Amino acid sequence: MSTFEIFKWFVAKEKAIYNAINMMKARHNTYIGFISGVTRKEADIRQYLAQYPATEFMKWNYQKSAGLTPPTYFKSNELLAFH
């Protein structure tokens, strides 16, 4: 692997990190990020986030929030699978 390829990979990784931070909301000394998940996967999401002590899980009520629309979710099958 050449030096240019390593530098290119490093820049791509840094860009992805800053892009993720830019999508979060700054509140005091922390950043708040919103994720959406399927309700039946809530236990898995909670278990995964429990690995990170600074992470807090809260259910969000889209009906009460202003300006946020829940994403559309379609359960995938062979017909809907992306290749």
Domain residue spans in the chain? 1-83
Closest CA to 70 of 60, 58, 80, 57: 60
**Measured at the alpha carbon of residue 27, what is the angle toward residues 31 and 36, in degrees to the nearest 5?**
50
Q: Quick one: pLDDT at residue 3?
A: 92
pTM to 2 decimal places: 0.49
Q: Residue-wise pLDDT tens for the chain (83 aa)?
A: 889 999 999 999 999 988 888 888 787 887 777 777 788 888 998 898 889 887 777 777 666 666 666 677 777 777 766 65
**Measured at the alpha carbon of residue 5, what is the angle toward residues 4 and 7, in degrees to the nearest 5?**
65
Q: Quick one: pLDDT at residue 67?
A: 65
